[in-house]
Structure 1
Amino acid sequence: MMNFSYTRAETVADAIAAVAADPGARFIAGGTNLVDLMKYDVMKPERLVDITRLPLREIEATDAGGLRIGALVPNSDLAYDARIQRDYPLLASAILAGASAQLRNAATTGGNLLQRTRCYYFYDVATPCNKREPGSGCAAKTGVNRVNAILGTSEACIATHPSDMCVALAALEASVHVEGPNGPRVVPFAEFHRLPGDAPQNDNTLAHGEMVVAVELPAPRFGRNHTYLKLRDRLSYAFALVSVAAALDMDGDVIVDARIALGGVAHKPWRVTDSEALLKGKPATPDSFGAAADAILSGATGYGGNDFKIELARRAVVRALAQAVAGEPQVQSDKSVN
């Protein structure tokens, strides 16, 4: 780990000014991802601006009937909040599927959005990685790519976004509140993360100096028919090979509305609204589920070691939709797969 300077900000404005003025500066809160990356020499910030004292730890009701979640709300506090468990159980389930209790206690809502890929080559500074060093190449494409993307890839990168929480937020159509040198703005969740294209070093659409201050959830709609299904190499403390956040609005056996988002398959949480449209007004049958899965995975491409993910993802979508229809969401506490 290289030497760095450290500053503790007392206000949001001071934090933004400190980072915006220094190209080598980064915000730090829980540090559960950034500190690891610094230890591996993957990221080498010259200055850390500590934002842990900022007043961003509240979960508040909005005038639109939703919730505004401060960026510094710990993942564990969010998952166990009574309002989240009652009105947004899909989000609570996704958070509890990730990491460990100790990490969830330290990790923050904003930090979860900003965590970086766990691609093996991104962490290995002895190998080429366009995300870590633009222009150096992508060793994963012809290397060990079991955990890598099958959707939305580019010639430059096949990394995946690792978050569980973000998959649920994508399905729930959350929005991200950002403040920066040019003032505040609100970013629809679908537009916050980006695909790799020819600039895979950019995980999201934030400019330098911009800071996530809150995540807003719309009014609740999917309290009963939902599930977060996470498939991984081991049942505890592992990132998803494929995960599915499914939320349905049902009228008897007919699907009125649907939301489906996938994790572990792309550079961002993967949602295809056309696939959801295929389910609207349709009976809740395996054939309907399969048609939606095929639409979501249209254009999926494997790279050898991760070819299995295409069929795994299709089966996961069908299984998750069946769980959601039955009102029997995946149980995260015992780590078994329903």
Structure 2
Amino acid sequence: MKKIISYIILITLVVLLSGCKNNSHKKIGILIYDKEDTFMKEYLTSVINTIEEEYYYEVGFADRNQLKQTSQFINFIDRKFDLIIVNAVDRLQSGSFIEKAEQNNIPLIFINREPQSLLNDSKNSYYVGSDSKNTGLLQANIVKEMVTNNKIKDKNNDGIIQTIILKGEQSHQDSESRTIEFIDSLGKLDVSYELLAISVANWDRKQAFDKMRELDQMLDNIELIVSNNDDMALGAVDYLKEKYGEIDLKIIGVDGTNSGLNAIDNNEIYATVTNDIVAQTEAIKKITDYLLKGIIDSDFNYEERFQLIKGEIVKK
């Protein structure tokens, strides 16, 4: 019996994180779409480190299940949390979340996964995330720099970069915008390339590994891999190392995760574009302090409901 009780306690701790030195503080609920997402792990850690001294918080992980996240959201509403931070499983659900929160006068901050709803019609809902178009442009700039400096190996000597794109979730605003802007920007930068495939791997390292296996027959022709995030880029690295024992082509990621930066140091990934967690966390904290404490930062535009943070190029 003691072992069973211990297991139940352990499972509870894994599913729900909470903390604050003073439970009389304002209560913040944090909903994360998947606890296994590398970027969101780092993002959540940054948010918690920023708010934990001043606010009580609880975290719910949805494991990519919208029904589970909706249940967690309603639980926070029913328990009268003062603010809810939402990393949505399905952006289409954001409208019902906003409506329910408005009815209960609870502000929302959507993060990373842009709500497919008009925030400007909401009294107190915000979105904080990356400027995904800028990210696609910066990835294209990296390619232009590599071409200019002859850093891409032209395997077939045709003067054209044979390229594949590893794409995040279909319909996710970041994966769509990053991909479209990257392709458009390559054209504007007058880069000669051939797009061999766009393969959806849902931000996931293992799925990217499997997608590379599916593309195995064209690997000898691929000269560049552009990924919507670092985890999928690392999935490509994993497969290439397993097949060849080395990385013989250039790979570009997005996010600037710790594992992505380590891969740059190890010459496995050529570059990444940061998805600036620090700047996004600062924006979340300013909005939170404004909504829950009435604290105003004169340098912050609270009227702007979409806070889009630009990234930066990182390479060795």
Normalised TM-score (structure 1): 0.21
Could you tell me the TM-score, scaled by structure 2's length?
A: 0.22
Q: Larger % of helix: which?
A: 2
